[in-house]
């Protein structure tokens, strides 16, 4: 027996497993995608673990910005691990199915880390705002205690979102033939597939978007409006360049994260079978977690200097 109920007039049994459509049925393309995603995942692990290790090991990077960046690297690692291994297994083993419990777990963990990343990026934007607009107050405002509270709050808000999304899905009924036209369990697509009343699930989704997604984005926008205003008031071109350079990596990260999300969830669609969404989803679930550590490594002089110092220490020990 089950507590789910389909809408009146619909005859079907409750799904115990979903089918993930993936990208293509062509074998040669599947092999190519498998190798590409495997390489991306390995680079993601290497880059994010390397960034976490470097930040912990180098005293040069013991500052608020890198404290946030270390947590961002951890979240990126978790986001990628939530999605990519199952996608690789699907291609390698030909397993299209994902159990109902597995889908619930994926929705919970992905919802948790997605919102956590939103608030970590907002905290990093606030950090840049204080550093550029109020440099004399920076040590006081961005104290270790406040940074710790900002990071803890980000994880708690992410946890709230994950629990809410999983609870919203638990009230839905799905026919056993349900196929998700993506490579992972996406809550908005599952709601559209449900054959039961989706009012509660939609309410939870919209409430979490309004109360969690919008405020974090507003913090980013307001912070950068103030930052740009402050930079424009700097008289020297060199001063402007230095101020902008401290934000360049963060702006690149924001673009790769929010760009695909806006395309995926805010752009209007004519139908529910949306091929472009798969590649937008690839960007923020697979590509962005890989790019973030390299964006900061290649563009940041402090990170480069920390690498050089660690290499010198390593050479001295060998």
Threshold 0.85, pTM exceeds = yes
Q: How many CA atoms lie within 13 A of 208 on its CB side?
A: 25
Q: Which of 87, 85, 91, 84 is nearest to 32 (CA)?
A: 91
Going from N- to C-terminal start, the domains of the chain cover 20-268+276-311
The domain at 20-268+276-311 falls in which architecture?
Up-down Bundle (1.20)
pLDDT at 274: 52
Higher local confidence (pLDDT), 219 or 314:
219
Residues 6+ away with beta carbon under 8 Å from 24: 30, 33
70: confidence class by pLDDT, cuts 50, 70, 90: very high
Please state, in angstroms and rounded to a whole number, the distance separating the CA atoms of residues 85 and 91. Answer: 10
Largest CA distance in the chain: 75
Higher local confidence (pLDDT), 317 or 171:
171
What's the CA angle centered on 307, arms 303 and 313, to 5 degrees? 145
Q: How far is CA 139 from the centre of its chain?
A: 29
- DSSP one-letter code for 6: P
Q: Do β-strands 97-99 and 179-180 pair in parallel, antiparallel, or remain unpaired? A: unpaired
Please state, in angstroms and rounded to a whole number, the distance separating the CA atoms of residues 67 and 74. Answer: 11
pLDDT at 186: 83
Q: What is the mean pLDDT of the chain?
A: 83
Contact status, residue 96 vs residue 22, Cβ threshold 8 Å: yes
pLDDT in tens, 93-126: 767 788 888 888 999 999 999 999 999 999 999 9
Q: Which of 266, 285, 271 is nearest to 86 (CA)?
A: 285
Whether the predicted pLDDT of 276 surpasses 80: no
pLDDT in tens, 132-183: 999 999 999 999 999 999 999 999 999 999 999 888 888 888 876 678 888 8
Average pLDDT of span 21-44: 85
Whether the predicted pLDDT of 4 surpasses 50: no
**β-bridge mates for residue 17, sequence order:** 99
Q: Which of 134, 209, 98, 119 is nearest to 164 (CA)?
A: 209
Average pLDDT of span 37-53: 93
pLDDT at 126: 95
- Gyration radius of the chain's alpha carbons: 22
275: confidence class by pLDDT, cuts 50, 70, 90: low
């Amino acid at each position: 027996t089950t507590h789910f109920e389909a809408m009146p007039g619909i005859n079907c049994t409750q799904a115990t497993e979903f089918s993930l459509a993936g990208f293509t049925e062509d074998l040669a393309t599947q092999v190519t995608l498998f190798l590409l995603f495997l390489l991306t995942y390995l680079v993601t692990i290497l880059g994010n673990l390397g960034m976490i290790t470097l930040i912990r090991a180098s005293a040069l990077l013991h500052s608020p910005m890198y404290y946030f960046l270390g947590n961002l690297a951890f979240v990126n690692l978790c986001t990628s691990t939530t999605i990519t291994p199952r996608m690789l297994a699907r291609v390698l083993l030909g397993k299209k199915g994902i159990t109902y419990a597995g889908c619930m777990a994926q929705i919970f963990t992905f919802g948790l880390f997605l919102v956590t990343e939103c608030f970590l990026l907002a905290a990093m934007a606030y950090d840049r705002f204080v550093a550029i607009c109020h440099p004399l107050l920076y040590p006081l405002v961005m104290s270790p205690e406040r940074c710790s509270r900002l990071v803890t709050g980000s994880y708690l808000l992410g946890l709230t979102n994950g629990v809410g999304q999983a609870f919203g899905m638990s009230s839905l009924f799905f026919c056993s033939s349900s196929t998700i036209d993506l490579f992972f369990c996406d809550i908005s697509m599952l709601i559209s597939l449900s054959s039961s009343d989706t009012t509660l699930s939609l309410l939870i989704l919209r409430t979490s978007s309004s109360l969690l997604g919008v405020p974090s984005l507003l913090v980013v926008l307001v912070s950068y409006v103030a930052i740009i205003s402050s930079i424009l008031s700097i008289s020297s071109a060199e001063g402007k360049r230095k101020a902008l350079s401290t934000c360049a990596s963060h702006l690149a990260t924001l673009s790769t994260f929010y760009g695909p999300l806006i395309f995926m969830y805010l752009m209007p669609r004519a139908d529910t079978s949306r091929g472009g969404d798969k590649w937008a989803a690839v960007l923020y679930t697979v590509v962005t977690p890989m790019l973030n550590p390299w964006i900061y490594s290649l563009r940041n002089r402090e990170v480069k200097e920390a690498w050089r110092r660690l290499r010198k220490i390593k050479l001295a020990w060998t």
